A = this chain, B = another copy of it.
Amino acid sequence: MNTQQIILNSRPEGLPTADNFKLQTTELPELKDGEVLVKNLWMSVDPYMRGRMIDRKSYIAPFEIDSPLEGGAIGEVIESKNSTLPVGTKVSNMLGWRNHFVSGEEGLTVVPETGLDLSHFLGIMGMPGMTAWTGLTRITNLKAGETLFVSAASGAVGSVACQLGKLMGARVIGSVGSDEKAEKLKLLGADEVINYKTCGDLNEALAKAAPEGIDVYFENVGGEHLRATLNNMNDYGRVAVCGMISQYNDTTPTPGPENLFQIIVKKLKLEGFIVFDHWSHYGEFAKEMAQWLASGKIQAEQTIYEGLENAPEAFIGLFEGKNKGKMIVKLTS
């Protein structure tokens, strides 16, 4: 049978454009013994994918020109030559950006029955949610009574980090890029929200929002956000360095902040992390998060685009601030 997939047509320079992507029809191979045919139902677009579009060494191999893109997805087995994965099984996989694929067991994880919408396993119950949890619990060890600052606070990771921070007893400050997002984040419980596009000097805005200083910074943005936060951190503050989205589309490298000396003055600890290194703790995270979701203590925000053909637009939208919470694509064919 035929299916559709999105290939990398050209490497983006700066902000990706529609031309960098191409929708392609391709023929699937016949199932061999042990294989299954999966129809993807949901696929994820994430900022980290921008890095894979650059031809460079990183923690994950770059995408190849003319090859299909990859990423998190949730699908359903619709044909099976594998008795452990019968038709109807829901599987999470890393073969997003396509409607169907043929695969052996490897790379497929059965999604447990939880009563939660399947799409959440790409968001709050999946990689972004686990990233927020890891950054606060395992990297920075946020404590009750501390002040947490989260940048890109209405994003897939940031919106969970803010809510988790409140559950952990912290005072939570978030930065977002629109007043609409600011309002939404306050409804989710953030104590202070800064619209970094309209606040004027971010350094001063942070000083005002955190008069007692920042103990933990969940870094998703980099650049000016990092600079302003270093100036406002307390002694022995910790930074979970998760992302630097402000720089992902840089065509020429942007210099770092000039105040890194604050790391010494304030005896700060900055730690970069990749959530996959912590995946052995997924069970612990998932159990807690499922309970918080079920009890309404945490809300899962999503922005949904429909149709594989709109996946590039959804992806580009990540860098234009078009998502509130997790940006996700519903595959309909």
Binding site for B on A (CB under 8 A): 58-59, 222, 226, 235, 241-244, 247, 253-274, 277
User: Could you tell me the distance between the alpha carbons of A235 and B258 in the complex, rounded to whole angstroms?
Assistant: 25
User: Please, could you name 11 A-B residue pairs with CB atoms under 8 Å apart, sorted by A?
Assistant: A242-B264, A244-B264, A256-B260, A262-B272, A263-B270, A265-B272, A266-B272, A267-B271, A267-B272, A268-B271, A269-B272
Contacts of A243 in B (CB 8 A): 264
Contacts of A267 in B (CB 8 A): 59, 271-274, 277
Q: With both chains docked as a complex, state the minimum distance between the C-beta of A272 and any C-beta of chain B, in angstroms.
A: 4
On whether the beta carbons of A265 and B222 are closer than 8 Å, the reply is no
Contacts of A58 in B (CB 8 A): 265
Q: With both chains docked as a complex, state the minimum distance between the C-beta of A285 and any C-beta of chain B, in angstroms.
A: 18
On whether the beta carbons of A265 and B226 are closer than 8 Å, the reply is no
Q: With both chains docked as a complex, state the minimum distance between the C-beta of A255 and any C-beta of chain B, in angstroms.
A: 3
On whether the beta carbons of B254 and A241 are closer than 8 Å, the reply is no
User: Could you tell me the distance between the alpha carbons of A274 and B236 in the complex, rounded to whole angstroms?
Assistant: 11
Interface of A, secondary structure class, is loop
Of residues A241, A259, A264, which shows the largest number of chain B Cβ atoms within 10 Å of its Cβ?
A264
Q: With both chains docked as a complex, state the minimum distance between the C-beta of A124 and any C-beta of chain B, in angstroms.
A: 21
* Known contacts A264-B242, A265-B272, A267-B273; A257/B256 CB under 8 A: yes
User: Could you tell me the distance between the alpha carbons of A266 and B222 in the complex, rounded to whole angstroms?
Assistant: 16
On whether the beta carbons of A259 and B253 are closer than 8 Å, the reply is yes
Contacts of A244 in B (CB 8 A): 260-261, 264
Partner of A256, one of B255, B266, B272, B273: B255
Of residues A59, A243, A268, A271, which shows the largest number of chain B Cβ atoms within 10 Å of its Cβ?
A271
Q: With both chains docked as a complex, state the minimum distance between the C-beta of A242 and any C-beta of chain B, in angstroms.
A: 7
On whether the beta carbons of A258 and B255 are closer than 8 Å, the reply is yes
